[in-house]
Structure 1
Amino acid sequence: MEKRMNYGWHLFALNLIACLIAPSDQASAPCALREYKTGLVCVCNATYCDYLDDPTPNEEYLFTVVSSTKSGLRFETTNGLFNLYKKYYILDYDQRLDGTMQASTRSVQIEVDREKRLQNITGFGGSFTGSVSYILDKLPQELQDHLYKSFYSSSGIGFNLMRTPIGGCDFDLEAWAYNELPENDTALSNFTKLDPREEKRIEQIKRLKLVSNVENLRIKAAAWSSPPWMKTNNAWTGLGRLKKEYYRTWADYHLRWLELWEDSGLPIWAISTGNEPLNGVAFMKLVKFMSLGWTPNQQAVWLSENLGPIIRTKYKDMLIFGNDDQRYTYAFWFKQMKASRSDSLDYLGGLAVHWYWDEIFKPKFIEVARKEMPDRILISSESCIGDKPWQKAAPVLGSWERGEKYARAFLQDLQNDFNGWIDWNIVLDEEGGPNYVKNFVDAPVIANMTNGIEVYKQPIFYAMGHFSKFIPEGSVRIAAERTNVNVDTVAFLRPDSSVALVIFNSGYASVDVHITDSYRGSILFLIPPKSIHTVLYK
């Protein structure tokens, strides 16, 4: 399956650097490329992984372009001058080798307007599931640290958000919850300490914080299912809802979990009202993993009378996210909740959306809820590829096409007032698991569990990084109008008053890019086909 690339002397030099320079000696380090039949990955092992220090130029007359391409660039940096009317070429490897440049057949003008300001950014992140914890525990500590830093350090892709399950989820070795026994135990007498699996997860997250120096890590949690005895069908999955006599118990369960995590030294930023509530109501024949069904009316009652008041007794500032399900639910979910319990929405500080059917259901479904609750934080809280019948339900090593899907989705969400994005598992094995119901999918990093000594950063990782690394918490979206629909873009004013502009060329032709900023002037350069770029300037 694997074959080595033949890019000439420059790739040989790059790989030589990868072997000789330890990451502890420098933060910036180039990608160690490897080619598979399906594309290019960056290889990390215990002694080497690629990083990039903040490339934002210090001088006002300079700009920096960070580029990733299908042909092999990964966070390649190029510097240029404002108002110098020549092209600064962003080249792929083949063009570098023969010294030629493919003539552009398209052009785009992008006007950046700093005065028109839109939504604030809460951040970006990934999920730390039981499967992630299991994989990390099998890898050398040095390689674990590389993964932590690759995602959460400033020289990685700068994540600051994290999602984790309350108890078990589908990405685990088995279905599980706290207090499975004794049954009918409303006092939760067997839920007095954390499960060893979660103690391990907490230990790993603390290590992540230590080695990555992540600032303000915000952890969001969600429960997939209660213990079966609380449910109408007494099973992990299928048509099963919470029995009314356990509404209070299920709220107490959440509070107990929050207290135990806080006592362990990892306070939680936010919880949701549950993961994909329609799975246990409308899709019980399709979903094989643990789930808890809710209708919006039932969830409104539970939130209004139980979860909301109980959480607020101790955690007055904790965010509660509503829905945590697909876009199409937004057209009716919150309206029905409000109709059932008018005060239920008052407990919600955020709205969480899963991306799995976004190519079919457009942002207008979100707008319905957004109009009623314009002040809530809106984030995409779960995303991965491989879940559809027409997609390969496994990692595709080096798939640029899957990276492009992420780029399109990030752009669409950010252009429609989303405040952040949390991806699904940060790392999975070669199968796309482990997963106890074989619900395999892709991930931004794939661990080689056969040799146990290396991991592969996918194009998905870099596609996300073009946003998360350069658009930190506290950034504000500003207007960026373009003249070519084949080139997409979004712009942000960052907390340090610098600008980050992401440009995505999904076409098969090079494009002349002309950026104008009323504060700084003009930038001209050419971008290659199938490429993502982040432009940075003061």
Structure 2
Amino acid sequence: MKAIWLSLLLLLQTGVALTTTTTTPCLLRETSFGGVCVCNSSYCDYLAQPVLKDNAQIVLISSSKNGLRFSRTDGSFGQVAALEVQDRQEFDANFKADAIVVEQNKAWLQLANLPKPFAFNVNIKTVQLLINRQQLYQNITNFGGAFTGSVSHILKQLPQELQDHVYKSYFHSAGIGYNSIRMSIGGSDFDLQPWAYNELPINDLHLSNYTALDPRDLQKIEQLQRLKRVAELDELKIMAAAWSAPLWMKSNARWTGFGQLKSQYYQTWADYHLKFLELMQSKNMPVWAISTGNEPLNGVIGFVFIHFMSMGWTPWQQAIWLNDYLGPTIRNSTQRHVLLFGNDDQRYTYPSWFRKMRASRSNALDYLDGLAVHWYWDEIFGPQLIDEALTEMPNKLLLNTESCIGDKPWQTHGPELGSWGRGEHYMRAYMQDLQHKFNGWLDWNLVLDERGGPNYVNNFVDAAVIVNTTSRAEFYKQPIYYAIGHFSKFVPEHSRMIETRTNETASIAQLSTVGFQRPDGSIALILYNGENLPLRVLLQDSERGELSLQLPARSWHTIIYK
């Protein structure tokens, strides 16, 4: 009997419930795009955090296009033979996958639609990977995702046991170890309708109708409290941002379109933010950080194709508001500990946005603790823009605060269930950002439905976890989930990035890597083989010595050792 079903049978016979300290395998289901791991109320896959028993031990966690999901391989330094990842797994009876098996220099290719393998000769590449743990870079602060109105709505429909599996899968140490969420102040584009606090009465400078949290936010708080309990999470870093002010504060009196904050409401808008922080604090759900507003260019130049909630700012206007109103309001309040992040928009706005802010108010940037970036055009605009910004503002935290796929006209709008290619898109993006001194990453919606919604503008996109809202009985962990998890699960807060180098030419590199020294002193290396052939890696650590690895095609891995 297959290992997965044997595990389930034993559970049924003993009546013992799975706990999140137990390692349970993925129930892999074939889809038209690849494969997803299926979770229901009574079963979900988890991986207990590896514990290293001695200085020689190595733990290798692997995920691959052919079906591996957080598969564990153990080894040790000093082994004669290579530590080889076996790219095979006990699949669901309906799952068929291509596989490449390597014996010396001959690759056996098993195609899913052919009864027998055939062979071809190929030279398997060997890459040298040098680890210099003495060279330390940025500190890691947080990984997480967005708890939008759409997410809250979907979770509310699910049985409690299934909700709990979502929370554990994301935030428990046996899940992927998130420690942060992003939420909107008022509504966002992923809500069932646009909304803001104090929509009435209009022209209300004192926000007299803003004395309690909206029921939608109260529902989120109830869910977040449950999340913290089931994930055994002591601290949850909440990052908040506003999409739009109430209509009476805006120049166009509309949720979307070309519209900006009226200058007579600059102080009122600062007070609006402070009230949210105080109300969240009163519910024992303190906010860790806020930004100066989501995607400010949407209300200036993006309104042609953006039809959801937005409010425009120019950098000159935002500098005035930050320097003269928001900054002093927060810093002179009981919420002075809350961090302030600037921009919260695309990479192409860097570093010019901040240069223009400085030109408007020379001290405005002093109020900023960090810089927030969205990923949507990163394939066009290179990371050198971020490098320039950090050179000019070297002491700021740097976070990617929004990412999803399926938003472009040339992409499938909504989920591609099981798409390994979309997982690889995330893997490449996380690698690049971390190589350019990012301190963390907040993905967009934690969960979406089968269409990639719901929301009030039918703005359908993909997510790492897709919920079957028809049956309300299961959800699906996508390859995106495991791509993110190879970072968030094994690179905890206070890890430091270390130097990793290969002997490959950057333009034709088969192996991508980042490395970290974790708070306990152990090392976590993330390796990505994006080619259709296996790869040999000769790892050379400046303190531990050498290790030979053999990695399957189209796969990513985390290596943990002391």
CA contact (8 A) 2:319 2:358 kept: yes
TM-score by length of structure 1 reads 0.96
TM-score, normalised by the number of residues in structure 2: 0.92
Per the TM alignment, residue 161 of structure 1 is displaced from its structure 2 partner at its CA by 1.5
How big is the shift at 1:94? Answer: 7.0
Mapping 1:124-523, distance limit 5 Å = 124-314=143-333, 315-484=335-504, 485-523=509-547
Could you tell me how far apart the structure 2 residues matched to 1:114 and 1:456 are?
37
Is the contact between residue 494 and residue 518 of structure 2 (CA under 8 Å) also seen in structure 1? yes
Q: Provide closer, same or farther for how the CA distance between residues 117 and 19 of structure 1 changes in structure 2, counting only shifts above 3 A.
A: farther
Partner of 2:54: 59
Deviation for aligned residue 1:518: 2.1
Contact map agreement 2:20 2:46 (CA 8 A) in 1: no
Post-superposition Cα deviations, 1:87-121, rounded to whole Å, max 9, x if no partner, equal 12101127999995354611111110011111111
The residue identity in structure 2 corresponding to 1:67 is S
Q: What is the deviation of 1:244? A: 0.3
The 1:255/1:469 distance shift into structure 2, 3 A limit, reads same
- Cα distance in 2, alignment partners of residues 99 and 478 from structure 1: 32
Q: Is the 8 A contact 1:498 1:537 kept in 2?
A: yes
Matches within 5 A, 1:38-53: 38-53=33-48
* Equivalent residue, structure 1, for 2:118: none
**Structure 2 segments unaligned to the other structure (5+ residues):** 92-96, 106-122
- Equivalent residue, structure 1, for 2:129: 110
Between the aligned partners of 1:18 and 1:306, the Cα distance in structure 2 is 59
**How far is the alpha carbon of 1:15 from its aligned partner?**
6.4
Partner SS for 2:198:
coil
Shift, 1:14, TM fit = 6.2
**Residue 5 of structure 1: aligned partner:** none
Q: Answer yes or no: is the 8 Å Cα contact 1:43–1:457 preserved in 2.
A: yes
Listed one character per residue, the Cα deviations across residues 419-439 of structure 1 (whole Å, up to 9, x for unaligned) are: 000000010000101111011
Q: Percent sequence identity over matched residues?
A: 54
Distance 1:513 1:343 in 2: 49
1:30 aligns to what? Answer: 25
The one-letter amino acid of 1:60's match is N
Separation in structure 2 between the aligned mates of residue 531 and residue 14 of structure 1, nearest angstrom:
26
Take 2:494 and 2:371, find their aligned partners in 1: how far apart are those partners?
A: 18
**Distance in 1 separating the partners of 2:325 and 2:89:** 62
In 2, the alpha carbon distance for the partners of 1:146 and 1:335 equals 45
Q: Residues 226, 497 of structure 1: CA spacing in aligned structure 2 closer, same or farther, 3 A cutoff?
A: same
CA contact (8 A) 1:160 1:215 kept: no
Number of residue pairs matched by the alignment: 531
> How far is 1:10 from its partner?
4.8
CA-to-partner distance for each residue in 1:407-429, whole Å, 9 max, x for gaps?
Answer: 00000000011000000001000
Shift of 1:215: 3.8
The aligned amino acid for 1:468 is S
**Which deviations, in whole Å up to 9, do the C-alpha atoms of 1:68-104 show, x marking residues without a partner?**
0011110000001102121121011279999953546
Letter in 2 for 1:537: Y
1:521 positional shift? 1.1
The separation in 2 between residues aligned to 1:180 and 1:376, in whole angstroms, is 34
Unaligned ranges ≥5, structure 1: 1-7
Summarize the Cα distance change of 1:16–1:325 in structure 2 as closer, same or farther, 3 Å threshold: farther
In the TM superposition, residue 28 of structure 1 has moved relative to its aligned partner by 1.5
Relative distance call for 1:198 and 1:95 in structure 2 (3 A) is closer
Given that residues 20 and 172 in structure 2 are in contact (C-alpha distance below 8 angstroms), is that contact kept between their aligned partners in structure 1? no
Q: Can you list the C-alpha shifts for 1:179-211, whole angstroms capped at 9, x where unaligned?
A: 111111111111111110100001001110111
Q: Is the 2:4–2:90 contact (alpha carbons within 8 Å) kept by the matching residues of 1?
A: no
Is the partner of 1:284 in helix, strand or coil?
A: helix
Deviations 1:328-347 (A, max 9, x none): 00131000000000111010
Q: Within 2, Cα distance between the matches of 1:308 and 1:366?
A: 24
Query: Where does residue 84 of structure 2 map in the other structure?
Result: 89
Q: Is this contact kept in 1: 2:4–2:25, CA < 8 A? A: no
Q: Deviations over 1:333-376 (max 9, x none)?
A: 00000000011101000000000000010111112221111111
Question: Once the 2 structures are TM-superposed, how far is the Cα of residue 12 of structure 1 from its aligned partner?
Answer: 5.0
Could you tell me how far 1:524 is from its partner in structure 2? Answer: 1.0
**How far does residue 24 in structure 1 lie from its aligned partner after superposition?**
2.9
Query: What RMSD over aligned residues (CA atoms) do the two structures have, in Å?
Result: 1.8
